[in-house]
């Protein structure tokens, strides 16, 4: 391929792949730093472009780079916080201020998962990889990835059910107060 063809091929790849990779990174570290991490993953793909053959290889490399960069970002965050004495669990390390409201419960639930479970869930359920494909990216075997995925799904289901129960209780309490206030009981 000529340099111009490589440039065009990468631009096409970037255009149709960015949103999917970005969603993976948001699922792993939250929305605040996802843009930078995603961009860096694509820079690394561009640097290695000539060594990779086919969109499938480019995509695998980009996702693997995004996962690795997300892990590094989380490690650096943990080190900064441990040095400052602000030790918080990984589940509380990122904010979701730029996420849309429907995603908040899912993002909060993802933050409660251990890193390997979160990675397996994001790659398989949010990005659509099979367990063997995710295992290749995570440098583990498919059986281990399936175990992490199963545990993550169970924990997410429990988290979302608890979150749903809390929201229903909150709505019921507000409705009860509203009915009470409308009937003159709140005066």
Instruction: Report yes or no: 129 and 123 within 8 Å, Cβ to Cβ.
Output: yes
pLDDT of residue 101: 36
Does the pTM surpass 0.75? The reply is no
Q: Quick one: three-class SS letters along 101-152?
A: HHHHHHHHHHHHCCHHHHHHHHHHHHCCCCHHHHHHHHCCCHHHHHHHHHHH
pLDDT value of position 98: 40
Q: How many CB atoms lie within 10 A of CB 124?
A: 21
pLDDT in tens, the chain (187 residues): 678 888 899 999 999 999 999 999 999 998 888 999 999 999 999 999 999 987 689 999 999 999 999 999 888 877 777 776 654 444 344 444 343 433 667 888 888 999 999 999 999 998 889 999 999 999 999 999 999 999 999 999 998 888 666 655 555 566 656 555 565 655 5
Which pLDDT score, from 0 to 100, does residue 16 have? 95
Residue 161 is predicted with a pLDDT of 85
Question: What pLDDT is recorded for position 96?
Answer: 40
Report pLDDT for 160: 85
Q: Please, is 26 exposed, middle or buried when counting C-beta atoms within 10 Å of its C-beta (0-12, 13-18, 19+)?
A: buried
């Amino acid at each position: 391929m000529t340099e111009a063809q490589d440039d065009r091929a990468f631009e096409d790849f970037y255009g149709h792949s960015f949103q999917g990779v970005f969603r993976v990174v948001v699922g792993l570290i939250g929305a605040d730093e996802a843009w930078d991490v995603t961009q860096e993953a694509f820079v690394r793909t561009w640097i290695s472009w000539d060594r990779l053959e086919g969109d499938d290889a480019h995509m695998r490399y980009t996702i693997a780079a995004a996962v690795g960069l997300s892990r590094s970002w989380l490690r650096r965050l943990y080190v900064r916080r441990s040095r400052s004495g602000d030790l918080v669990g990984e589940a509380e390390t990122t904010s979701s201020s730029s996420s849309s409201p429907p995603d908040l419960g899912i993002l909060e639930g993802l933050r409660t998962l251990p890193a390997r479970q979160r990675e397996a869930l994001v790659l398989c359920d949010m990005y659509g990889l099979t367990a063997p494909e995710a295992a290749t990216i995570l440098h583990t075997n498919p059986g281990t990835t399936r175990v992490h995925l199963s545990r993550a799904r169970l924990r997410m289901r429990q988290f979302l059910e608890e979150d749903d129960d809390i929201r229903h209780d909150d709505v019921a309490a507000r409705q009860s107060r509203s009915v009470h206030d409308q009937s003159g009981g709140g005066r």
